[in-house]
């Protein structure tokens, strides 16, 4: 695994590209901060897309049934394996850490 920091000017293009590549992944979102501890916001929901809006300075993680908004993101880190993106960590201006974990859906045989 290789963790790397993305520079802010690249966020919009990176997330637009990754949203197409990550279609069908399952996502868990964990939010960590001293004020709230560790909270699970979403538990393995289907990913619809991840975007960054530079005008409003918001990262949006769109999941089936939930939109997770991260206002005023300060840093973005991505964790890449040899074949895939395994997680994204977004740190907002209030030092909340939004950890977005990705995995493939289970491939079960038809009933």
Tell me what pLDDT residue 1 has.
59
Distances (CA, A) of 107 to 9, 53, 104, 110: 37, 33, 8, 9
Q: Which domains does the chain have, with CATH numbers?
A: 2-103 (2.30.29)
Digits of tens for pLDDT over the chain (111 positions)? 589 999 999 999 999 999 888 878 999 999 999 989 999 999 999 999 999 999 999 999 999 999 999 999 999 999 987 678 899 999 999 999 999 999 988 766 666
Burial level of 95, CB count in 10 A (0-12/13-18/19+)? exposed
Q: Name the region of 16 (left: φ>0; alpha: ψ -120 to 50; beta: rest).
A: alpha
Q: Beta-carbon neighbour count of residue 68 at 10 Å?
A: 19
């Amino acid at each position: 695994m290789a963790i790397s920091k993305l520079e802010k000017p690249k966020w919009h293009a990176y997330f637009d590209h990754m949203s197409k590549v990550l279609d069908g992944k399952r996502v868990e979102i964990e939010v960590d901060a001293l004020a709230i501890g560790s909270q699970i916001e979403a538990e393995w929901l289907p990913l619809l897309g991840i975007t960054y809006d530079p005008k409003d300075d918001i990262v949006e993680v769109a999941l089936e049934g939930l939109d997770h908004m991260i206002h005023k993101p300060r840093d973005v880190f991505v964790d890449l394996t040899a074949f895939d993106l395994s997680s994204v960590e977004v740190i907002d201006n209030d030092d909340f850490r939004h950890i977005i974990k990705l995995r493939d859906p289970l491939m079960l045989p038809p009933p």
